[in-house]
Amino acid sequence: MAQARKKQVSVDATPSYHVVSRCVRRTFLFGCFENKDFSHRRQLIVERLAELAKVFCITVSAFAIMSNHYHLVVRIQKQQALDLDAHEVIRRWNALFRLPVLVERFSNDIPMSSAPPLRSPVRPFARSRLPRSLLTAHSGDSAAGFVGGWRWLQ
């Protein structure tokens, strides 16, 4: 049965972990396969590992890149991660991913009261596709008007 990562990982007991990742369908994405050479991809993986190690406060102790999978031994730098403030975590996350609007506002020190209200483009579209009976509450029927735990307001 699946367990939460928090229950599986104990940084205090074991700060180092062996990580394995295989290619989809066991295809050969590194090295030579069917007269094609994909060994240039190994360097891309090494560069990406170095970038991710800086962002996520880990040290890559060892790695092996095979033709269709790779092995890593990573060590979690707990104290380094705990020393990061909220703005540094956001800056690191933004180095890899696009920030949600509210997080972007927070990182730019925009007060939430002065920011324009958020509008979701999904809501009008979803409203137009649902039957009218689901969008309004009927008298005596407390469950009507609720879709997936959310009340659709007019």
Residue-wise pLDDT tens digits, 81-131: 999 998 899 999 999 889 888 888 888 888 776 656 666 555 555 555 655
Give me the amino acid identity at 73: V
* Cβ pair 90, 107 in contact under 8 A: yes
Sign of CA dihedral 33, 37, 39, 40: negative
* Cβ pair 16, 61 in contact under 8 A: yes
Q: What residues are paired with 151 via a beta bridge? A: 146
Question: Residue 151 is encoded by which pair of tokens?
Answer: 């009340």
Higher pLDDT among residues 47 and 148, named by residue: 47
pTM over 0.85: no
Q: What is the pLDDT of residues 7-42, one digit of tens each?
A: 877 888 889 999 998 888 767 777 777 787 878 888
State residue 41's pLDDT score. Answer: 84
Question: Residue 51 is encoded by which pair of tokens?
Answer: 């970038």
